[in-house]
Amino acid sequence: MSPITRTIENIDLETIVGLAKRRGFVFQASEIYGGLGSTWDFGPLGVELKRNVKDMWWKSMVRNRDDIVGLDSAILQSPEVWMASGHVENFSDPLVECGGCHRRFRADHVGEECPHCGESKFSEPRQFNLLFKTFMGPVEDDAAVVYLRPETAQGIFINFDNVQTTTRKRIPFGIAQIGKSFRNEVTPGNFIFRTREFEQMEMEFFCKPGSDEEWHRYWIEFSDNWFKKFGIRGEKLRVREHEADELPHYSKGSADIEYEFPWGWGELETISNRTDFDLKAHIERSGRDLSFFDDAAKERFVPYVVEPAMGADRSALAFMADAYDEEGEGKEKRTVLHFHPDIAPVAVAVLPLSRNEKLVPKAREVYDLVRANFNAQFDDTQSIGRRYRRQDEIGTPLCVTVDFKTIEEDNAVTIRDRDTMVQVRVPIDGLKAALEDQLEKLREACRG
């Protein structure tokens, strides 16, 4: 199958936001109460999209490798963790206040004029700590302060010895984690790209000092190829090395995998060489030995760490933006999301030709067969043409149609391809194999 081409190259963010709400990908959180700034709820399709992104990352990073294991650490940790990591002292952004409307912005996110009132006078920048603070227990005092984690990485570092001892993994090896993080961003925005509550997919790869730069290059290439493998167009991706003055306090070197969003280039993933900063910081503050003894070399050392850290929410947005296309004009115009089959919220839709009393039961039988093997959806509302268009708009790769010929003549169904709209007739007893074959062809086309 030929690579998928787009008839529309650039789409505005408002179109993506409108589609996301209309079809149940993403809703404004607390919408019935006027919403809560930069918080979002993932709807029935959005939760499937984001779950597929996370599942494909986990499969690629953990299940298909023997040198990486998983972890699920707590959101609430001892405040000592964040003191040791430097977040309490260093995790801040420069904040300015507009002299006109008194709104506050990140200093590096505002131009010469306030975007809300046009005023050009701003206060001097001051540092604003991004940690969300709360209290544990019944008394709200300094002794009860805890923080919502700003990253999942520290839960991995403080469990390094636990994981290494119980799994008996030898250096080099990695620990991966997917979970919620929280940052009190001064100026969140661009829909689900920058939010205060978000999901991260992070992996800390522990290696011998001196091999870290080689591993850093390896994980940059791995990450770039991961997005391409699941359908992101190569021309919409770039690798950007961090300048020395923008490196985090823990990093020897960092590179971003960026996607060209409707508003410009934005970071999807950062791959950082964290050296031994984090493990040494926790060794010093906790007094625990987090070093590693290499039996073969008869030497002990504190491992260096290379970290690929990806945002699940913004990656889901990138997959939506990159998949979006419009074809035709007027009444013939169709909107289609060219999702990779492993990313698409629904892989196969089963559609009876109409709501006929004989067709629907047969279609339900076919649906039960399909959903036992694929993420499937049953749809029998409105005309068949409208249902095809609806499935195109949510990115469903294949539709299976049950018609009168199915029940009266051949016990076969029609498979329709989302991208080519080509239809083929297959017997129901061979449907599973036919769907698997069609989905594999679509995977190849999505990879280009």
Distance CA 19, CA 8 (A): 16
Q: What is the pLDDT of residues 368-384, one digit of tens each?
A: 999 999 999 999 999 99
Q: Are residues 48 and 183 in the same domain?
A: yes
Distance CA 232, CA 323 (A): 8
Q: What is the pLDDT of residue 102?
A: 67
- How many of the other CB atoms lie within 10 Å of CB of 233? 20
Which run of H or E residues covers position 241?
Answer: strand 237-241
Residue 174 has pLDDT above 90, yes or no: yes
With a pLDDT cut of 90, the percent of the chain lying above it is 78
Distance CA 445, CA 340 (A): 9
How confident is the prediction for the chain on average, in pLDDT?
A: 92
Q: Are residues 206 and 62 in the same domain?
A: yes
CA angle 7, 10, 12 (to 5 degrees): 125
Q: What is the pLDDT of residue 104?
A: 67
Distance CA 187, CA 104 (A): 8
Q: Are residues 304 and 373 in the same domain?
A: no
Residue 37 has pLDDT above 90, yes or no: no
Residue 430 has pLDDT above 80, yes or no: yes
Q: Of the residues 285, 320, 355, which one is the last residue of a structural domain?
A: 320
Tokens of 295: 């039996």
Peptide bond before residue 308 is cis, with ω within 30 degrees of 0: no
Q: Are residues 262 and 160 in the same domain?
A: yes
Q: Of the residues 320, 336, 369, which one is the last residue of a structural domain?
A: 320
Q: What is the pLDDT of residues 194-239, one digit of tens each?
A: 999 999 999 999 999 999 999 999 999 999 999 999 999 999 999 9
Q: Are residues 24 and 165 in the same domain?
A: yes
Residue 179 has pLDDT above 70, yes or no: yes
Residue 185 maps to a domain: yes
Do 77 and 153 touch, CB atoms closer than 8 A? Answer: no
Q: What is the pLDDT of residue 192?
A: 93
Q: Which domain holds residue 176?
A: 13-76+150-320
Residue 144 maps to a domain: no
Distance CA 371, CA 334 (A): 26
Q: Could you tell me the CATH number of the domain that includes residue 183?
A: 3.30.930.10
Residue 7 maps to a domain: no
Residue 81 maps to a domain: no
Q: What is the pLDDT of residue 276?
A: 96
Q: What is the pLDDT of residue 106?
A: 64
Range picked from 3-17, 129-143, 278-292 for highest mean pLDDT:
278-292
Q: Are residues 361 and 315 in the same domain?
A: no
CA angle 152, 156, 161 (to 5 degrees): 170
What is the phi/psi pair of residue 108, to 5°?
-90, 5
Q: Are residues 231 and 295 in the same domain?
A: yes
Residue 107 maps to a domain: no
> Which of the four pLDDT bands, split at 50, 70 and 90, describes residue 2?
low
> Which of the four pLDDT bands, split at 50, 70 and 90, describes residue 441?
very high
How large is the average pLDDT for residues 127-135?
83
Q: What is the pLDDT of residue 7?
A: 77
Q: Are residues 427 and 293 in the same domain?
A: no
Residue 192 maps to a domain: yes
* Number of domains the chain contains: 2
Distance CA 365, CA 439 (A): 21
Quickly tell me which residue has 């650039």 as its tokens: 10
More confident residue, 240 or 98: 240
Q: Are residues 192 and 310 in the same domain?
A: yes
How far is the CA of 427 from the CAs of 3, 358, 360, 366, 405, in angstroms? 28, 18, 18, 11, 11
Q: Are residues 357 and 308 in the same domain?
A: no
Q: Are residues 267 and 354 in the same domain?
A: no
Residue 187 maps to a domain: yes
CA angle 423, 425, 427 (to 5 degrees): 150
Q: What is the pLDDT of residue 115?
A: 74
One DSSP character per residue, 400-433 reads EEE-HHIIIIISEEEEEETTT--EEEEEGGGHHH
Q: Could you tell me the CATH number of the domain that includes residue 401?
A: 3.40.50.800
